[in-house]
Amino acid sequence: MTQEQVADTLGVSSQSVSRWECGTTLPDVAILPEIARLYCVTIDDLYRETSVAYENYAQRLESIYETTRRPEDFLRADMEYRKLLNSGNATMEDLRLYGILNQCMMKECLDKALSLFDLVLKHAPAEDEEAYWRTKRQKIFLLCQLNKADEVISEQHKIVTDATQNVEEWICLIAAYQYDGRYREAENWIRKALVKFPASAALLIYSGDVYRRLHKYDKAFAYWEKALQLNPDYLDAQYSKGFCYEEMGEYRKAYEAWCQLSDTLADRGFDVEIPYVKALAEKCLKKIS
């Protein structure tokens, strides 16, 4: 670039750029971010003796994240790549590097998630039973997403055999089958489990979710209703009902279910979730119209 081109881009005079290059003056600190962006380097690079210029600023930030692995550096690079994609100027190399950026972050997130789940599961269930079993089911879900369902199911079979009176371990086995899409096998274990634990609200919710996948909607709703009778605090069942009504094309009932859930959330002070549920209700209302 000529001095005039740099000056036009930065909104300064070409004489100023000339004086910077000669070392007679320094640019104002406020303009350093723009200079760094122009040359596809970081502000820190401007203070180094030598620096490699990248094809664009996004590539530079991707390289920084690969070095530091700090979440804030990922977010900076991700934002720049989004801008690049929206502008329509992304090259094949940009797409490749953006993929690598997300691949690295995915590995970081997976490792952190499993580590945090294991921290919870190191404690005895009695310390906080609700948190313990929800965490175990969430870990099973993640492992199934990572194509490790067979290992999880095999392990849960052994646990259920040894702890046959623990309904939570049965639920974990049923959940593993469900997450792996093996709904018929999940149904077989549901039948056995309900004989032993007919009054478990959590088991009834998972049963309803499996029967929804099997398109046996009457059974699904019956189990969700019974779960709510046993434990009204299980809002999972209300979410399941709303989504199931939508799946069936029963938008009036879905709308009513979302409105009821919104009221319940408001009564319990869960204000963060309310806008999402109201948006679901509005979507159904439009379909009714």
Average pLDDT over residues 95-99: 96
Alpha carbons 258 and 18: distance in angstroms, whole number: 65
Alpha carbons 144 and 233: distance in angstroms, whole number: 27
Alpha carbons 147 and 184: distance in angstroms, whole number: 19
Domain boundary among 95, 122, 149: 122
pLDDT of res. 220: 97
Q: Do 138 and 106 share a structural domain?
A: no
Helix crossing, 71-87 with 57-68: angle to 10°? 160
Q: Do 209 and 130 share a structural domain?
A: yes
Q: What is the dihedral of CA 36, 73, 63, 82, to 10 degrees?
A: -80
pTM: 0.79
Residue 220 located in a structural domain: no
Residue 218 located in a structural domain: no
Alpha carbons 199 and 90: distance in angstroms, whole number: 57
Q: Do 203 and 136 share a structural domain?
A: yes
Q: Are 108 and 68 in contact (CB under 8 A)?
A: no
Domain boundary among 154, 180, 213: 213
Gyration radius (Cα) of the chain, Å: 28
Name the percent of the chain lying above pLDDT 70: 99
pLDDT of res. 262: 96
Q: What is the residue range of 99's domain? A: 58-122
Alpha carbons 84 and 86: distance in angstroms, whole number: 5
pLDDT band at 57 (very low <50, low <70, confident <90, very high): confident
pLDDT digits (tens, 9 = 90+) for 129-187: 999 999 999 999 999 999 999 999 999 999 999 878 999 999 999 999 999 999 999 99
Fill in the DSSP letter of residue 180: T
pLDDT of res. 201: 95
Residue 202 located in a structural domain: yes
Domain boundary among 164, 182, 213: 213
Q: How many CB atoms lie within 10 A of CB 286?
A: 10
Average pLDDT over residues 208-229: 97
Residue 230 located in a structural domain: no
Per-position DSSP letters for 118-156, written without gaps between them: HHHHTS-GGG-HHHHHHHHHHHHHHHHHTT-HHHHHHHH
Which residues 6+ apart lie within 8 Å of 221 measured at CB? 208, 241, 244
Residue 277 located in a structural domain: yes
Asked if residue 289 has pLDDT above 90, the reply is: no
CATH of the domain at 36: 1.10.260.40
Alpha carbons 282 and 285: distance in angstroms, whole number: 5
pLDDT digits (tens, 9 = 90+) for 69-80: 899 999 999 999
Tally of structural domains, the chain: 4
pLDDT of res. 55: 85
Residue 185 located in a structural domain: yes
Q: Do 116 and 132 share a structural domain?
A: no
Residue 27 located in a structural domain: yes
pLDDT of res. 113: 97
Q: Do 41 and 68 share a structural domain?
A: no
The type of residue at 197 is: F
pLDDT of res. 163: 78
Average pLDDT over residues 93-97: 95
